[in-house]
Amino acid sequence: MSAQDNKQARGVFTAKVRSNRKIWPSFYKLLIEFSGDGAEAFARCRPGQFAQFDLSGAALPPDEAIPVDLADSAHRSVLLRRPFSFSDVTVKNSVVFVEVLYGAVGPCSLRMTTLKAADSITVIGPLGTGFSVPQAKKTALLVVGGMGAGPLEHVAKVLTEERPDMQVQAFAGANSAEALPFERRLDELSQGVGFSLAEFARFGIESQVATDDGSAGYRGLVTDCFVEWLEQAHLEAKDAVIFACGPEAMLARIAELARNRNIDCQISMERRMACGIGVCQSCVVECRGENGESAYKLCCKDGPVFNSSEVIFKP
């Protein structure tokens, strides 16, 4: 699939909430359902794309359920839509189910936690350019940092459907076991290596877990865990592709690794996005242009997924 295939009709659609589950103390999965034109648009959505959610009508949780560190910011108005990517998209007959992995980290996502089955929500989407699946590759390496898990869960599903012959390996890291946004038990995660993450295991994909504090899996950065694995893997660089989503420091390191080892690499960047449709210019990503000059691209339109070789990371 080429990046061009990512482009499809987008629009303003109303979705119905099917469920909204807490999967770990501060992580949730929202499942929404589209029918009609919305279903048609989201059925073709690619991993890494996103939608702008209008949460201005959603209620805040009661004060006692608001985390202390959000007590002040929680009450800010949420006039702007907020971007969320998808951890799963499922087409069933003429209905499309879209799952969003999110953390309760600010006024919008806190309001999202109060959505319940049968509520309606308005979204603009699908937006942006997502991950593409190169046909010539034999091995896909998924590298997740924290909340970057969602889009790569979606990548895992799409790879399984579109390239069942491909070898896929996942790496997931966070500061601590508490900060890993997966549905699991700590003792299972502590196995560290193998099929410990159900989100990938359900597609037959092995995963390795890394935590900075060593509370689960490999002790250290997921990028270090990834390098150690690469050094033992005997991979042909030309046969492999890396898909990565996570904090910018992690993406910068992955981009450097990919460049040094000549491995193709796609990364999902994050920027504040006010409009999500290329109008407000709030989401600029500095890229390499022709003649060595910088070229400024828009995360919401040209990305959020970029080839890692084109992005300029600041030290």
Beta bridge partners of 31: 19, 99
Q: Does 125 bind ligand FES (CB under 6 A)?
A: no
Q: Does 283 bind ligand FES (CB under 6 A)?
A: yes
Considering only residues 290 through 309, tell me which ones interact with ligand FES, judged by CB under 6 A: 298, 300
- Please tell me the number of Cα atoms within 13 Å of 84 on its side-chain side: 27
Region near ligand FES per CB under 6 A, out of 151-159, 256-264, 269-277, 302-310: 269-277
Minimum gap (Å) between residue 51 Cβ and ligand FES? 13
Residue count, binding to ligand FES (CB under 6 A) = 12
Q: Does 274 bind ligand FES (CB under 6 A)?
A: yes
- 3-state SS, residue 252: helix
Kindly calculate the radius of gyration of the chain based on its CA atoms and give it in whole angstroms.
19
Q: Does 281 bind ligand FES (CB under 6 A)?
A: yes
**Residue placing its CB nearer to ligand FES in the complex, 146 or 304:** 304
Contact 38, 13 (CB under 8 A): yes
Closest CA to 100 of 34, 11, 172, 197: 34
Q: Does 286 bind ligand FES (CB under 6 A)?
A: no
DSSP assignments along 121-183, one per residue: EEEEEEESB-----TT-SEEEEEEEGGGHHHHHHHHHHHHHH-TTSEEEEEEEESSGGG--SS
Q: Does 258 bind ligand FES (CB under 6 A)?
A: no
**Residue placing its CB nearer to ligand FES in the complex, 10 or 157:** 10
Closest CA to 129 of 265, 2, 259: 2
Region near ligand FES per CB under 6 A, out of 131-139, 216-224, 238-246, 280-288: 280-288
Q: Does 263 bind ligand FES (CB under 6 A)?
A: no
- Which pair of structure tokens corresponds to residue 157? 């599903």
**Residue placing its CB nearer to ligand FES in the complex, 186 or 279:** 279
Per the rule left: phi > 0, alpha: psi between -120 and 50, beta: everything else, 95 is beta
Single-letter code of the amino acid located at 72: D
**Residue placing its CB nearer to ligand FES in the complex, 117 or 296:** 296
Region near ligand FES per CB under 6 A, out of 191-199, 223-231, 251-259, 278-286: 278-286
- Which pair of structure tokens corresponds to residue 254? 């992955």
**Residue placing its CB nearer to ligand FES in the complex, 238 or 272:** 272
**Residue placing its CB nearer to ligand FES in the complex, 86 or 171:** 86
- Evaluated on CA atoms 34, 200, 53, 103, the torsion sign reads positive
**Residue placing its CB nearer to ligand FES in the complex, 184 or 297:** 297
Q: Which of 280, 286, 295, 310 binds ligand FES (CB under 6 A)?
A: 280
For 244, residues 6+ apart whose C-beta sits below 8 A from its C-beta are 142, 143, 144, 145, 148, 152, 250, 251, 254, 265, 266, 267, 268, 308
Q: Does 273 bind ligand FES (CB under 6 A)?
A: yes
Q: Which of 103, 107, 130, 276 binds ligand FES (CB under 6 A)?
A: 276
Q: Which of 282, 295, 307, 310 binds ligand FES (CB under 6 A)?
A: 282
| Residue that the structure tokens 């390795």 belong to | 208
- Which pair of structure tokens corresponds to residue 232? 């033992």
- The site for ligand FES (CB under 6 A) is made up of 273-276, 278-283, 298, 300
